[in-house]
Structure 1
Amino acid sequence: IEGCGPVLSSADWVLSPEELASKFSPRTKAIVINTPNNPLGKVYKRKELQMIAELCIKHDVICISDEVYEWLTYDGTKHVKIASLPGMWERTVTIGSAGKTFSATGWKVGWAMGSEHILKHLKTVHQNSVYHCATAAQEAVAVGFQREYDVFGTEESYFHQLPIHLHEKRLRLADCLKSVGLKPILPQGGYFMIADISNLNVDLTDPSTKDEPYDYRFVKWLIKEKGLATIPVSAFYSPEHRNEFQKYIRFCFVKEDSTLQAAEDILRQWSDGKLKKF
């Protein structure tokens, strides 16, 4: 980010092969992965996915791969489907979303891809839970895919245009966060950005939130006092790991420029006025 010095990247966060391997046992039936990741924005490298694949094959485990941000990657980062690795197609369910692929989040249309011997059970679950999605929305998504098929690989492709459009918003938000004393983690994919707030000192003495995690208290304070909405990152973690991630909050940069400008104005006014740093 020009003029801002070094910024951490989501690529700096890596899986521990030893720790992950220790979690597999004869009772392990499935693993859920998410790449590009929410909230971090990490895009798993082929080498990392290969390590996961080898564990799945060794322990005969199903892989449920959430890849809803597959078309949103930046700076030349390549998304790799774990189902494309040797031995993984027959044991992987790949999840996609029209909400992310076509920026139509309200439609709630998604899909699952995999081999028939797995999907037949998934279809049974789907049939007996939500039954089906709205036909009109499914038809619209199908039309979107047909258009993308016809223009794929060209500048007319939405899959090509969207990451270029969001790339600038991503850099703009990171630049702003760093300039006001926050520590952004530049995402390789997706449209969220987490920031380290550990070097900020704010008054979080509201008695109504005193028993909540620090990031929950911070985001509530930020909404109430500054009018800016973010998400507490510890909400994404299991109870045994939640305490380690209370100093991060998540921003969203898939916003209109006017909304990003309003957020910048709030942050810069806070920084120029009352922001205190350790």
Structure 2
Amino acid sequence: MAKRLQARRLDGIDHNPWVEFGKMASEYDVVNLGQGFPDFPPPDFAIQAFQLALNSDFMLNQYTKAFGYPPLTKILASFFGKLLGQEIDPLKNVLVTVGAYGALFTAFQALVDEGDEVIIVEPFFDCYEPMTLMAGGCPVFVTLKPSPTQDGKFTSRTKALILNTPNNPVGKVFSKAELELVASLCQQHDVICISDEVYQWLVYDGHQHISIGEPCLPGTGLAAIPVSVFYSTPHRKQFDHYVRFCFVKDESTLQAMDEKLQKWKDELRP
């Protein structure tokens, strides 16, 4: 066609390393360790639960509520409430999304504006930079060191900091002291912390996963977005000072933002 086909916001970010790795693994007939390819079946209880859900009530095969299927949000609120020692309202503080990618993309689009700076801790999972750029933001990189961030990287334009613990690809698990430093800097500079915690259940060798939103960390007023995933059912949840995918400082703003985004997604469904 004569008109430009690809949107300019995709310029420079249309390269996906996973596509390249897949082609190389296929071409050279090697074992691909770049992604997770389970070679074992899911647990029986998960299969049985899905079968029961499909067979028990045909009315379940409908569009669910935008914030998530109420029985699921209740279970998530109860589970994470016990895990974190906080009361979570399943109607106000839980939001279900299709995977962590969808949740992260929604958060970037909703919170990062044109010209906003986003601090990304290196090495990082490949989607953080293109998601920042697609939202019109400017990525600012900080190398992973014993002190995970540097005060000098924060400016008046800094909107968010992306933290990944446990880290993909190197497996770094941030300590309580390191998380306290990150939380302190984010509060000091009025910055949102997007904390990708999808590997929180895969911690070994005496390490302990701590979320930046846990009550053991000082953080009243901290805007945090810890991201987590159920490997059978990806989810997103948020509550006071602790959000598993999307958070702003006041609940009414967050609710309005998510209602708008979910409405757009509903309208775009085929």
- Same fold, TM-score > 0.5, yes or no: no
Report the structure, 1 or 2, having the larger helix content: 1
Q: What TM-score does the superposition give when structure 2 sets the normalisation length? A: 0.36
| Higher relative contact order, chain-length normalized (CA < 8 Å, sep 6+) | 1
Larger Rg: 1
